[in-house]
Chain A
Amino acid sequence: MVQTMINNELKPLRVVEKQFKVNENFQTNSKASVFYANNFNLWYGEHHALKDIQFNVQENEVTAIIGPSGCGKSTFIKALNRMVELVPSVKINGEILYRGRNIFAADYAVEELRTKVGMVFQKPNPFPKSIYDNVAYGPRIHGIKNKKILDEIVERSLRGAAIWDEVKDRLHHNAYGLSGGQQQRICIARCLAIEPDVILMDEPTSALDPISTLKVEDLIQDLKKNYSIIIVTHNMQQAARISDKTVFFLNGEVVEFDITDRIFSTPRDQRTEDYISGRFG
């Protein structure tokens, strides 16, 4: 972790030529910026996994990250809540601003960042505890002990994740007894319970059946009103259906970033067009 900080200070910010095509006009609306990646680089040991990433994520939008396997989508999304730091060999350079503050700055406590930036993982990963204890986990670690408040947070989060009706009669049963799709929505509820500002989702529906997938997608549409969402997906239709902006990653670089409709109708880079039309990846 210490390495990360030091590395970050080494390289002065330099203005890179834009190697990727960003439509400068589409960000001029009034929405505030949530995340801003500024010349962000990341290495796993010698492997340069993210190269000069630069783009802006705005409030109350769904931003989809697409790209072929191994292009660095998960790495990028895990950099946003500094989860990458769990890998000892990781080195970074450049900065990522969350609401104007560099998250890799030495005085930014990672615990603070992660209460603002929640994450839903690819594989549902509930704790082997009751549904209630799963959802109450976040509030509890942040010091809430009052049973009444916890009850309310749990109910609100489960409703928010569109699973309250399915589980309200068995809140104290083990979450492992639920189906995969239900478990994933419990994980979303668990994430909502820390009252985050941004929700990161790494292929949240890849382990789910079509019906559960639809439920989660509807849910994302709903959540967008109150949260900013960044979602990694391999499913082009899904990206097209649920996202406002789409960013296309290739070999650790941002190739194109634009309004979703435009990416899918009139991509400006040949590689984007090849990818979304299924010609490679």
Chain B
Amino acid sequence: MTKYIDDTVVMKRMQSRLRKNKIWKMIFFLATSFALLTLVVLIVRIICQGAGYINWDFFNNFGSRFPEKAGVKAALIGSICMMLVVAPTSIILGVATAIYLEEYAKNNRFNDFIRTNISNLAGVPSIVFGLLGLTIFVRMFGLGKSILAAGLTMSLLILPVIIVAAQEAIRAVPKEQREASYGMGATKWQTITRVVLPSAIPGILTGSILALSRAIGETAPLVVIGIPVIIHFLPTGLLSEFTALPMQIYDWAKRPQEAFQYVAAAGIIVLMIVLVLMNSIAVLIRNKFQKRY
């Protein structure tokens, strides 16, 4: 038998192969560091600017013309209320759609068309969703610049992301487990609720929380809907006017007084704390489910 792999040649090439391997490792490491460095610079800058303004008064004051009196109370509560609309609406609709598309829909042209377009929707600029919300919810349904109108608009915005994440999580449930369930005479619904969803929930939640984080930070749709910035009362119901954190930050940041830049930074810190909290909740829920399953 002829030997094609010559040991001496292999040994000679080994050095250059190992070197190449090292170089690529360095390149990938640098790419990662670049992103990380940017993030660190950003965070450090914001904390340096804003930390001085974070105190109890900042949380307990409404907006104000005077930087030292300005606070995030209305915006923080407003954002939380909006998320209370967004979370259930988008998760229920998103998961239901994903279940339909993955488990029930037949593979025909129409459903392929829907699948492709949902992915496309995820890439539509948020300002377009703002216009949609303005036309449908604010004007047509007459909901005004309310929490409900903004919440529904945000739900539409993140719905495609949740659907795609949930579809992927559902698809990742091994075929063998569905077969085991069907093989014992379970109906499709029983298989979905007892086998598919329990395995898919960690993935669905991770995707949903990421989408919700996006909703809480989005500004453009709120601007289009016309959400006010200065509000001196707390929302009383789903239909009351409100303001949200990103709107408030945007307003502060564009004011001429330099001190307001620091207030804006403080607002960003609050927003980031909310995001970190949401992500920790996602991790907690995920770990809980992974322990059980």
Contacts and interface: CB of A to CB of B under 8 A. Distances in A.
Are these two chains actual partners, yes or no? yes
Interface of A: 81, 83, 86, 88, 111-115, 118-119, 121, 123, 125-129, 137-138, 141-142, 187, 190-191, 194
Given A129-B293, A141-B194, A119 B185 contact: no
A128 B289 CA distance: 11
Contacts of B180: 121, 125-127, 187, 190
Given A115-B185, A191-B183, 10 more contacts: A88-B107, A115-B184, A123-B176, A125-B174, A125-B179, A125-B180, A127-B180, A138-B184, A141-B181, A194-B185
Contacts of B185: 111-115, 138, 141-142, 194
B176 A121 contact: yes
Given A81-B183, A114-B185, A119-B183, A141 B190 contact: yes
A68 B70 CA distance: 79
Which of B107, B174, B180, B182 lies at the interface centre, i.e. has the most chain A CB atoms within 10 A of its CB? B180
Interface of B: 106-107, 174, 176-187, 190, 194-195, 199, 293
Contacts of B186: 111, 137, 141
Contact of B187 (A111, A118, A119, A190): A111
A137 B177 contact: no
B183 A114 contact: yes
A137 B184 contact: yes
Contacts of A187: 180
Which of A115, A126, A128, A142 lies at the interface centre, i.e. has the most chain B CB atoms within 10 A of its CB? A128
A188 B15 CA distance: 54
A88 B104 CA distance: 12
7 contacts: A81-B183, A83-B182, A111-B185, A127-B181, A137-B194, A138-B184, A141-B181
Contacts of A119: 183
Contacts of B184: 114-115, 118, 137-138, 141, 190-191, 194
Contacts of A138: 184-185
Contacts of B178: 86
Given A128-B199, A129-B293, A137-B194, A86 B177 contact: no
Nearest to B199: A128
B181 A83 contact: no
Contacts, number: 63
A81 B183 CA distance: 8
A138 B187 CA distance: 11
B195 A127 contact: yes
Given A127-B195, A128-B293, A137 B179 contact: no
A83 B180 CA distance: 10
B162 to A, nearest CB: 24
Contacts of A86: 178-179, 182
Contacts of B293: 128-129
Contacts of A126: 180
A88 B181 contact: no
Nearest to A119: B183
B109 to A, nearest CB: 14
A119 B177 CA distance: 13
Contacts of B182: 83, 86, 114
Contacts of A118: 183-184
B35 to A, nearest CB: 34
A127 B180 CA distance: 8
Which of B184, B187, B190 lies at the interface centre, i.e. has the most chain A CB atoms within 10 A of its CB? B184
A223 to B, nearest CB: 17
Nearest to A128: B293
A83 B174 CA distance: 16
A83 B195 CA distance: 17
B190 A125 contact: no
Nearest to A112: B185
B107 to A, nearest CB: 6
A83 B183 CA distance: 7
A115 B183 CA distance: 8
Contacts of B176: 121, 123, 125
Contacts of B174: 125
Nearest to A123: B176
A104 B183 CA distance: 16
A11 B195 CA distance: 38
B156 to A, nearest CB: 32
Contacts of B106: 88
B170 to A, nearest CB: 15
Contacts of B187: 111, 141
A126 B179 CA distance: 11
Nearest to A124: B176
A121 B179 contact: yes
A111 B178 CA distance: 14
A31 to B, nearest CB: 25
A129 B194 CA distance: 10
Nearest to B183: A119
Nearest to B173: A128
Contacts of A128: 177, 199, 293
Contacts of A121: 176, 179-180, 183
A187 B176 CA distance: 12
Contacts of A111: 185-187
A24 to B, nearest CB: 34
A129 B183 CA distance: 17
